[in-house]
Structures are given as C-alpha cells and as structure tokens.
Structure 1
Amino acid sequence: MKLGSLKEGGRDGTLIVVNRDLTRGVRATTVAPTLQKALEDWSSIAPRLRALAEQLEDDKAVGSFELDTTALAAPLPRAYQWADGSAYVVHVELVRKARGVEMPPSFWTDPLMYQGGSDSFIGPNDEIEMADEAWGIDFEGEIGVMVDDVPMGISPQAARKHIKLVTILNDVSLRNVIVGELAKGFGFFHGKPATAFAPVAVTPDELGDDWNGARLDRPLISTLNGKEFGHPNAATDLTFDFGQLIAHAARTRHLEAGTIVGSGTVANRDPAVGCSCIAERRVRETLEGGKPLTPFMSFGDHIRIEMFNRAGKSIFGAIDQKVVRYTPPA
C-alpha cells in the first residue's frame, strides 16, 4: 500500500491512503490520525490501513478524492530522527579523489552517517527556499526507509524486519557552506537545510522482486530544468544495504518508531548513467578536464526526482521543486 500526509490537521499532517496509480486518496483518520501514530503501533494498524487501501483500489472507499500532490506534506512531515548514510562509497571515493585525498580503507567496512534535521521536512512540490545562490545549492536523490521500534545492537539481518515503508527523497545540500563546516571537524548543520520527500511512502511488498529486503533495484531518475541529469540504479554499486545502515544507526541506541534512514546520494561507478547530484558531476568533470563546468542551482531552477517500476509507472510519485529566493523577516 501507499501512504501520504495532507497538509492539514497540525504539524504532523493527516494520514491518507493512496491508490497504486497515485490518482486518488482517502483520509485514514478512522484508523490512525498520522503516519507517526501508525508506525508506533504498526502490527495492529497496518492491516486496517491495508483494508482501506483495498477499498480504494476497488473504488469503494467512502470519502475518496482526486490526489493533488501540491496538497501533500512529506509522508512524515517531521520525525523523531533522520539518520542519513553514505551507502554508495563510490560517490565518496570520487569526491576525495578530486580533492587529492586518500580514502581510509575503513570507509568500505564501516558506514558513514550523520544525524540530520528532522523537525521540518518539506513536501514533494514545496519550493526550495534559499537566501543566497552563493551557498552552492545542490540536490541529492536518495532512497529512504521508515522503521518501527528498533532495539539497540540489532544485527543487519534482523534489522531488515523493521523496515515498514520505503520512499525517495531530495536531501538538499549547500556545498559551499558544507566546506567550511567540515573544516571545523564537527559535521553538518547549516549545509543541510530541509529535506524534501516524495508524495508517498510504500510498503515493501509494493516493490515486488525489485526489493530484496534491504535494497531497491530500480534506477533513480533526476531531471534538472527539463533535461535528464542521471539515472543510476539504486542497487548497483551499493556498499551498505538498509539492514546494515539500520544496524549501524542502532549500535549504541534504540531507534524510535518513525526514524528515517537514508541511503545517501545514489551513485554508480559507470559515468554513462549520470549522477544524482551536481557535486558528483562537477567531480567527474574535474577529473576528466581539470575543472568543474556544471554550476550549482540558481533561483528559478527546477529539479525533478522520480522512480518507475518495470511497467513504467511511478512508484512514489515525483519530487518536483523550484529553487526560489527567500527573504528573511525584518
């Protein structure tokens, strides 16, 4: 089934069930008011949501409506935790190579992960508000999973069972801000503004054979200003699957229901498939020609990120955003 959240009912939105074609939805408030509440009691609530989803598919759901993605928040408009990994080490390797920095061997065995801001995610069509183009505005196409309660010290294999929903996201990054922050040796903060999510998150069964329990075997397509930027496959060159990422996040703490774990920028070693972020393309350009050619995003630019199943239908709906100038309050 496919689940989303309307921008109504408070900061956590209103939970809706969406049909497979992403054309109609129905409020699920008789089952659970929000997706967060559903994840906290998933074993009892999920069957009731699934029954509602079946009614919607059969056009028997009372109160169903035509889906308007501009009315959607992120599936989880805010979360108790947002842990973003860097599961495609080939991406990290390229970046460090361009800087002339050797990559520690441990990067291939111990996942990189940072704790991002989760108090205010944005919806699939919400604008990317930025005060300054000089910040180096970039998109990052990623896969994300949402879990129920995960015990500390769990194994990667057991962690797979806690994945309840899968989605895609745009982890907006400010590259020129990040450089200064990393130089301080204390990680990201200003360089990682609000993250945008697809219209819906889906249960793993919706993915069929393309989901092996911990990784998604489909291309992630990024389109910048109407031109395809990249279509790397999310299973190719994946160093750490979601079982490993969740186990890493839970090494010294319990993960609360509603925690979101991200894959990091989807990247393949083959340059022919393109990239899921501008920074990687700039690195490849530097390695090939001595300097980057592709500029970071400017006001007015559009980014679209989407994934399709083997039948050519959108799985999660599209993240479709415009970069706009933000003017701080006086």
Structure 2
Amino acid sequence: MKLASLKSGRDGQLIVVSRDLGEAVAAADIAPTLQAALDNWHEAAPALQALYEALCAGKAANSFNFDPGRCAAPLPRAYHWADGSAYVTHVELVRKARGAELPESFWTDPLVYMGASDAFIGPCDDVEVEDEDWGIDFEAEVVVITDDVPAGVSAEQAREHIKLLGLVNDVSLRNLIPGELGKQFGFYQSKPWTSFTPVLVTPDELGDAWDGAKLSLPLRATLNGTLIGAPNAGQDMTFDFPTLIAHCAKSRSLMTGTVIGSGTVSNVGSKVGSCCLAEVRCLETIEHGAPSTPFMSFGDRIEIEMLDASGESIFGKIDQRIKQYHPPR
C-alpha cells in the first residue's frame, strides 16, 4: 500500500493513496497520523491495506484526486532520523578528489550520523537557505521506516523490522561541512531539514526490485530540467538496510517510526550520473583539476523520483525550488 500525509498541524493527516498515485482517501477512522498507525501497526496495517485495495478497485467512498502539493512529508516529524553512507564508492570518490586515502575500516564499519527529525518538509515545499555561499546541494537517497527494533538485533533479524520505504532529498550545505567536520563532532549547521517523496510504500509494492535489503531501481535526480544522474540504488551498496539498522541498534533500541537513510546513491564509475552535485564536482576535479559545476542557486528546481519497470512513479516526485530565507531582524 501507499501512504501519505496531508498538511494539517505538525503531524499531518494520514491518507491512503492509490497505486497509480491518482486518487486518495482519508484514513482518520483507522489512524489520525502515520506515526499513530505505526505505533499500532499490528491492527492498523490490515485495515489500511483493506482501504487501499478498495481505493485501487474504485470502491472507496469519499475518494479525491491526489495532489502532492497538499502533502507534508509522510512523517512530518519523526522520533529518530539516522542517515548512513552506504555507498562507500561515493566516499572514496570524494576523498580521492581532495587527495586523501580512504581508511580500510570504511569498507567494514558503516558511517552514520543522526539528523534533524523534528520537522521534515513536504515534496513540493521550497528549500529555504539564507546564503548561496553555503554551497547548496541535493542528495537523493532511499530510506526505510522501522517499527520497534531491539538493541543488539542481527542484520538478518533487522529485515523483519522494515515497514515502509521512500525517497528523500537530504539537503547539504557543502561549504559549511569542512568547518564542522574539522571539529571532529559531526554535522549540524550543514544539514538543514530533509524533504520526502509524497508517499511511503510497503515493501510488497516493490515486487522483485526489493529483496528485503536493497531496492534495485535507478534513482533519478533532475536539476533545472537536466538529468544529473540515475544510478541504480541496488548496485554498489556496501551496507544494505538491515546492516545499517543493526549498526544503529548496536547499543540501544530504535523506536517505531525511526527513519534510516542510505546516503547518496552512487555507482562505481558514475557512468549513469550522480545523485548529488558534490560527486559531479569531484569527478570534474579528478579529470580536469578543478570543478566547473556550481552548487545550487536561488530559483533552481530539483526533482527526485524512482520509476518502476513499466516507467510508473513509485513514490511520487520530490519537486522543489531553492528559495532565499530572510531571518528575523
């Protein structure tokens, strides 16, 4: 099934969306919000599935046209957002561009940081940034949503805790990152709010493209109408989602509604393009000695989407513009 949240208060209003993303129906009688549904997944999921099947069959009462512009993030705020760097080839490329060696441990021990989950933004919401000089970049990623995950869970056990999947634009402010990493204490100012696709889907919606650990379909990132890349999210993923979940749960439990990100999708050699501008610039630096592609500017439009084997959008599209933010004076 496919689930979304209309903008309403801070936690949205849960709706069920048809497979073709054309129609939707309110799910308030089952759960008022997606977090409430996840908290009672054992009972809510079968009821939501029945409503989904009725909607797809054209038998749901009070259905309406689905408009992504009315959507918040499916989980407008979450208790936990942990983003990995599962495509080590991306990290290797970034380090190569600046002449740094990749530690061998990066191939066996995942990189993960905890991001801001107090407010995610919707698929069509503007990305508001105060200064272009901060180096505005998009990062197209796959994410999974878990139920309660016990501490010490194995990767094999972690498979059973994945309840929903979606895509995100994990916005990065590249020119703020070096100063933060130089403090050896991680990201904060360089990672503003993250935006989501209109819908999250249950794993059964993905067919053979989902093997319980990786989603093997191209992830398309388009900037101002130009396709920047469409690397396959199932290829060159050093750490799959169960491995990332087990890593995050090594010393503490994860609560229902935890969002785990793959990090920027990247394929070896980047022959199919990139899912962030930093990687484009690294490739230019390696080939020409310096980057020529600028980071994003105010007014730029970024679109992120994944299509199934028949060319239909699975999660809907992230479609947003970069807008200058003016702080209070």
Match of 1:69? 68
Match of 1:269? 268
Matches within 5 A, 1:145-160: 145-160=144-159
For residues 231 and 211 of structure 1, the distance between their equivalents in structure 2, rounded to whole angstroms, comes to 17
Pairing 1:171–2:183 present: no
Which amino acid counterpart does residue 38 of structure 2 have in structure 1? L
Match of 1:3? 3
Query: Cα deviation per residue 1:36-81 (whole Å; 9 max; x = unaligned)?
Result: 0111111111000000001101111112110111100001000000
Pairing 1:322–2:306 present: no
Please list every run of 5 or more consecutive structure 2 residues that lacks an aligned counterpart in the other structure: none
For residues 171 and 61 of structure 2, the distance between their equivalents in structure 1, rounded to whole angstroms, comes to 38
Match of 2:121? 122
Match of 2:107? 108
Match of 2:218? 219
Query: Cα deviation per residue 1:275-297 (whole Å; 9 max; x = unaligned)?
Result: 00000010010001100010000
SS at match of 1:199: coil
Which amino acid counterpart does residue 276 of structure 1 have in structure 2? C
Match of 2:98? 99
Please list every run of 5 or more consecutive structure 1 residues that lacks an aligned counterpart in the other structure: none
SS at match of 1:270: helix
For residues 24 and 177 of structure 1, the distance between their equivalents in structure 2, rounded to whole angstroms, comes to 41
SS at match of 2:319: strand
SS at match of 1:273: coil
Count of equivalent residues: 329
Which amino acid counterpart does residue 326 of structure 1 have in structure 2? Y
Matches within 5 A, 1:249-264: 249-264=248-263
Match of 2:140? 141
For residues 11 and 300 of structure 1, the distance between their equivalents in structure 2, rounded to whole angstroms, comes to 27
For residues 115 and 254 of structure 1, the distance between their equivalents in structure 2, rounded to whole angstroms, comes to 14
Which amino acid counterpart does residue 140 of structure 1 have in structure 2? E
Which amino acid counterpart does residue 33 of structure 2 have in structure 1? T
Instruction: State the 1:131 CA deviation.
Output: 0.7
For residues 16 and 116 of structure 1, the distance between their equivalents in structure 2, rounded to whole angstroms, comes to 26
Q: How many percent of aligned residue pairs carry the same amino acid?
A: 62
For residues 176 and 89 of structure 2, the distance between their equivalents in structure 1, rounded to whole angstroms, comes to 23
Instruction: State the 1:214 CA deviation.
Output: 1.0
For residues 143 and 114 of structure 1, the distance between their equivalents in structure 2, rounded to whole angstroms, comes to 15
Matches within 5 A, 1:195-214: 195-214=194-213
Q: Which runs of at least 4 in structure 1 moved beyond 2 Å after TM superposition?
A: none
For residues 198 and 34 of structure 2, the distance between their equivalents in structure 1, rounded to whole angstroms, comes to 13
**TM-score normalised per structure 2:** 0.99
For residues 115 and 283 of structure 2, the distance between their equivalents in structure 1, rounded to whole angstroms, comes to 27
Match of 1:306? 305
**TM-score normalised per structure 1:** 0.99
Matches within 5 A, 1:48-67: 48-67=47-66
For residues 62 and 112 of structure 2, the distance between their equivalents in structure 1, rounded to whole angstroms, comes to 42
Which amino acid counterpart does residue 69 of structure 2 have in structure 1? T
CA RMSD, Structure 1 to Structure 2 (Å): 0.6
Matches within 5 A, 1:11-26: 11-26=10-25
Match of 1:86? 85
SS at match of 1:247: helix
For residues 291 and 269 of structure 2, the distance between their equivalents in structure 1, rounded to whole angstroms, comes to 18
Instruction: State the 1:270 CA deviation.
Output: 2.6
Which amino acid counterpart does residue 172 of structure 2 have in structure 1? S
CA contact (8 A) 2:231 2:270 kept: no
For residues 223 and 186 of structure 1, the distance between their equivalents in structure 2, rounded to whole angstroms, comes to 32
